[in-house]
Structures are given as C-alpha cells and as structure tokens.
Amino acid sequence: MTRVTVEVTFKNFEKVLTTPDTVQCLVKPPGVAALVPYVYPTMVMSNPSLGLYRLELLLDRPGTWRGRWITSGNIQVEKSWVIAVDDRDPF
C-alpha cells in the first residue's frame, strides 16, 4: 500500500489563483468499475491555500489509478491525473 498526495491548482482567465465554488475529484481504482467521488470538504481533501487542493489517497492495489478534478461555479475546469502502482516495488 502506498499513500500519495494528489495536488491541483486552479487559476482564472487572468492566471490568478482562485478558489472554485465547488471542487470534487473522481477516482477510478484499477479493476473497479465504479468511480469513487471525493467532494471538498472531506477528511482526505484539503484546501491549504488559495486555489490549491490536495487529496490524500491510499493506493491499496497495483495497476493504474485514474482521477479527474472537476469544479463548478466561478471557474469551471476538468483536470485529469494518472498514477501507476507496481506490485513488484520492493519498498
């Protein structure tokens, strides 16, 4: 099992950091058909500064983990991420 932090920043059209009205991250673990939604605020998602969001995940299975940040309101953005977990990792 591996703990990771997935970070994202949101900026408006003027390239200024901004906080969207709503933020969620949809996560698809490997081998699982359903998406797991995380909606801010939760115990595993934080907003430590203007425009910055962090999601703490426990990657408990090997394979490709996929996610997508989705916002709404004053800024509407979708940003995707991918993390590959190798079960042969000796650490």
User: What does the pLDDT look like over 46-60, one tens digit per residue?
Assistant: 999 999 999 999 999
Q: Is the pLDDT score of 89 beyond 60?
A: no
Q: Is the pLDDT score of 75 beyond 90?
A: no
- Using CA atoms, how far residue 54 sits from 44, 51, 83, 91, in Å, is 8, 10, 15, 24
Q: Structural domain boundaries of the chain? A: 2-85
- Using CA atoms, how far residue 57 sits from 5, 35, 91, in Å, is 6, 14, 17
| Fold of the CATH domain 2-85 | Immunoglobulin-like (2.60.40)
pLDDT for the residue 90? 61
pLDDT for the residue 87? 76
Beta-bridged to residue 80, according to DSSP, are 68
High-pLDDT (> 70) share of the chain, % = 97
What's the rounded mean pLDDT across residues 33-51? 94
